[in-house]
Amino acid sequence: MRIGVVGCGTAGQASAIFLARAGHHVTVFERAPKLGPIGAGILLQPTGLRVLSELGVADEIARLSSPVHRLSGVNLRGRTVLDVRYSDRQSGLFGLGVHRGSLFSTLLHRMNHLRIDIRTGVDVQSYAQRRAGVVELFDDQQRTLGHYELVIIADGARSSLRAQSGLVSRSTRYPWGAMWFVATDPRERFAGVLQQYYHGTKGMVGFLPSGRLAVDAPSTVSVFLSVRIDEAGAIRQRGLGEFARRVRALTDRADDVLSQISDVSQVITASYHDVVMQRTFDGRVVFLGDAAHAMSPQLGQGANLALMDASALARQLAAAGDIGLAIARYDAERRSNVRYYQRASRWLTPVFQSGLTPVGVVRDALMGPMSRAPVFRSMMLDSLVGIKTGFMPWSVSG
> Each residue of 312-336: pLDDT tens digit?
999 999 998 899 999 999 999 999 9
Is pLDDT above 80 for 398? no
Q: What is the pLDDT of residue 372?
A: 86
Contact of 208 with 222, CB cutoff 8 Å: yes
- How do residues 369-384 score in pLDDT, each as one tens digit? 988 889 999 999 999 9
Would you place residue 305 in the very low, low, confident or very high pLDDT band (cuts 50, 70, 90)?
very high
Would you place residue 291 in the very low, low, confident or very high pLDDT band (cuts 50, 70, 90)?
very high
Q: Provide the percentage of residues in the chain whose pLDDT is more than 90.
A: 92
By three-state DSSP, how is residue 336 classified?
helix
Q: Where are the beta strands (DSSP E) in the chain?
A: 2-6, 25-30, 41-44, 66-75, 80-85, 95-99, 117-120, 124-131, 134-139, 144-148, 150-153, 168-184, 192-199, 203-209, 220-228, 268-277, 281-282, 285-287
Is pLDDT above 80 for 112? yes
Q: Which amino acid is at 196?
A: Q
Helix (H) or strand (E) holding 378: helix 374-385
Q: What is the pLDDT of residue 40?
A: 82
Q: What is the pLDDT of residue 35?
A: 87
Is pLDDT above 80 for 39? no
Could you give the CA distance from residue 382 to residue 384 in angstroms, rounded to a whole number?
5
Could you give the CA distance from residue 389 to residue 386 in angstroms, rounded to a whole number?
9
- How do residues 236-260 score in pLDDT, each as one tens digit? 999 999 999 999 999 999 999 999 9
- How do residues 128-166 score in pLDDT, each as one tens digit? 999 999 999 999 999 999 999 999 999 999 998 999 999
Boundaries of every domain in the chain: 2-66+95-172+274-351
- How do residues 210-226 score in pLDDT, each as one tens digit? 999 899 999 999 999 99
Q: What is the pLDDT of residue 37?
A: 72
Q: What is the pLDDT of residue 371?
A: 86
Is pLDDT above 80 for 36? no
Would you place residue 80 in the very low, low, confident or very high pLDDT band (cuts 50, 70, 90)?
very high
Is pLDDT above 80 for 38? no
Q: What is the pLDDT of residue 18?
A: 98
Is pLDDT above 80 for 193? yes
Contact of 308 with 334, CB cutoff 8 Å: yes
Q: Which amino acid is at 84?
A: V
Second-level CATH architecture of 2-66+95-172+274-351: 3-Layer(bba) Sandwich (3.50)
